Structure 1
Amino acid sequence: MWKCPKCGREFKNRNQDHFCSQPPKTIDAYIAAQPESVQPLLHQVRDTIRGVLPEAQERISWSMPTYWNKHNIIHFAAFKNHIGLYPGDKAIKNFSSRLTEYKTSKGTVRLPYNKPLPLKLIADIAKWCCETGDHH
């Protein structure tokens, strides 16, 4: 177990990414709490998802920005070296041929900060997740 020296919370993984205080209540607050260099990228992901899911509610779930409409559709989160996109394992399987240049696992895609964001791919994944149902 690893204990955060700032907040005292314990985690299974050493140097686990987390919020030391209360998790943010809105996506605006979530983005504002991230490093300045990452904020424009998070806004691009948010705007892309909102563009294809205008009916979805924005909320925070699992301390991550989440899009919801009768079920969780897709989540994203900022990490040290990448943005994690969480569409579920069925989406990863469905889009596998378009995800070859990204690290994936189970229901996650890692979008590294040092590459341009694949906004069209993010839009297509979000739309597919919404149309095909709850994959989380």
Structure 2
Amino acid sequence: MGTVTEYLENVTGPNRPALERIVGIARELAPDAEEGTSYGMPALLVDGKGLVSVLETKKHLALYPFSGQILPEMSEELGGYSWSPGTLRFSVDNPVPDSLVRRILETRLAAIRK
């Protein structure tokens, strides 16, 4: 897989804008983020560390905050989603609200910049 931009260019249909929305929020919060890879996934990086990756799979869309601590801390807010400590799964029909995306990414940024 290539960089975030290259990856998103290959996503078609309604999934692409759903993923681009999350990447856009990440870029607003971390305008200094660079495109690269983390754990083999196209990712936005801050200080060389993974901030976020968003991917399309056969069954869902996924947000990866590159931390196993963030999502468990927000478990009450994630009741309508399938998730594990390192992955938040969603769909075009059940998108992650911008406010929750911001909280996830702000929490990850704070951990990176410690």
- TM-score band, normalised by the shorter chain? 0.7 to 0.9
Cα deviation, residue 81, structure 1: 3.3
Report what 2:46 is aligned to.
69
Of 54, 62, 84, the residue aligned with 2:31 is 54
Q: Which has the higher helix share?
A: 2
SS in 2 for 1:36: coil
**What per-residue deviation string (whole Å, max 9, x for no partner) do you get for residues 76-99 of structure 1?**
211123221111210011211211
Say if 1:86 and 1:107, in contact at 8 Å, map to a contact too. yes
What residue is the counterpart of 1:13 in the other structure?
none
Deviations along 1:23-81, one digit per CA (max 9) or x if unpaired, are 2x222210111122211112111111111111221223344331212222222211123
**Alpha-carbon distance between aligned partners in 2 of 1:57 and 1:91, rounded to the nearest angstrom:** 21
Aligned partners of 1:66, 1:28: CA distance in 2, in Å?
9
Distance 1:58 1:85 in 2: 16
Query: Structure with the greater relative contact order (CA < 8 A, sep ≥ 6): 1 or 2?
Result: 2
Q: Which runs of 5+ in 1 are unaligned?
A: 1-22
For residues 49 and 117 of structure 1, the distance between their equivalents in structure 2, rounded to whole angstroms, comes to: 14
TM-score, length-scaled by structure 2: 0.83
Give 1:113's match in structure 2, choosing from 86, 89, 92: 92
Q: Distance between the aligned counterparts of 2:51 and 2:4, measured in 1?
A: 15
Q: Which is worse superposed, 101-110 or 115-124?
A: 115-124
User: Identity across aligned pairs (percent)?
Assistant: 24
Could you say what the CA RMSD is over the residues aligned between the two structures, in angstroms? 1.9
Number of paired residues?
111
C-alpha contact 2:32 2:46 (8 A) present in aligned 1: yes
